[in-house]
Amino acid sequence: MGGMEIQIAVAKTNKYAVTDSGDTIEVVERPNGGLSVVLADGQTSGRGAKAVSMMVVRKVIGLLAEGVRDGAAARAASDLLYTEKQGKVTSTLNILSVDLHTGTVVITRNNPIPFYVARGERIDCIGEESKSIGTARNTRPVISEIPLEPGMMLVVYTDGLVHAGERKGNPMDVCTSLKAMREGQDPSPQAVADALLSEAVNLDDGRPADDISVVALKVLKHTGDDVRRMTVRLPVNVR
């Protein structure tokens, strides 16, 4: 299939007036090449939720680093959470893996909310029933596999995005927003993640009712050099 460039962008904000986000997201290298993005949203918000989502993400990336397959890592994280919290605490989990051997993105999902795949004019909502982890034994993820091809874009997010605006009876419609953004344009994944997050924050009058994380993954034709790049921007308040 030749040279491509994978671009992954993340935009993340906290629930209004809450310091700790209940969402945790990490991007890690896979032992056989490629990358995985691991995103968890722990139940409720604040410190407790943060500890849950960090535990889930750490378990998953530790196992991925050992070569464990994504589906098995998701099941292990569910069992760990179930055992640690006696089945009383739940978390969503999404794993996006760029697998260079199969030439696909593998999406492992324990999350009732769907994700989107855009190719050309078409936007598909992938929403087969899927349960969060931690509250039942034998919780299995739903796994989708999507070929890496230039022009393809994936959008995955935590439920804070789709709950935005609900208080005011004006909920966010991700598919419509994505369609509008892509009309006649070819936005970067950072532009897509930023625009979706910003729309959600506006629907909540600038005071997000929940933690929100948005991930956009885009495949492009490879035109530049062979350098891997990563940029992180972290607004901070130093006490």
Which of 156, 197, 203, 209 is in the footprint of a second copy by CB under 8 A? Answer: 197
**Residue of 72, 65, 77, 74 lying closest to 28 (CA atoms):** 65
Could you give the 3-state DSSP secondary structure of residue 48?
helix
**119 to 148, contacts with a second copy by CB under 8 A?**
148
> Residue 183 or 226: which CB sits closer to a second copy?
226
User: What's the min distance (Å) between Cβ of 60 and a second copy?
Assistant: 12
Considering only residues 80 to 99 of the shown chain, the ones binding a second copy according to CB under 8 A are 98
The amino acid that residue 6 corresponds to is I
With beta carbons less than 8 A apart as the criterion, state whether 164 and 208 touch.
Answer: yes
Asked if 185 interacts with a second copy (CB under 8 A), we say no
Nearest partner of 215 among 161, 179, 150, judged by Cα: 161
Nearer to a second copy, 9 or 175 (CB): 9
Asked if residue 52 binds a second copy (CB under 8 A), the reply is no
Per-residue exposure over 154-170, b if at least 16 CB sit within 10 Å of its own CB, e if not = bbbbbbbbbbbbeeeee
Task: Count Cβ neighbours within 10 Å for each residue of 130-147 and write b for 16 or more, e otherwise.
Answer: bbbbbbeeebebbbbebe
Residue with smaller CB distance to a second copy, 58 or 69: 58
**Part in contact with a second copy (CB under 8 A); list of ranges 7-15, 38-46, 78-86, 117-125:** 7-15
**13-32 residues near a second copy, rule: CB under 8 A:** 13-14, 19-20, 24-29, 31
- Which stretch in 111-119, 127-135, 138-146, 227-235 sits in contact with a second copy by CB under 8 A? 227-235
66-105 exposure pattern, b = at least 16 Cβ within 10 A, e = fewer: eebebeebbbbbbbbbbeebeeebbbbbbbbbbbeeeebb
Answer for which of 17, 86, 101, 129 binds a second copy (CB under 8 A) is: 101
Residue 185 CB coordination number (10 Å): 8
Interface residue list for a second copy (CB under 8 A): 1-14, 19-20, 24-29, 31, 33-35, 51, 54, 58, 61-62, 65, 98, 100-101, 103, 148, 189-190, 193-194, 197-198, 201, 222, 224-239
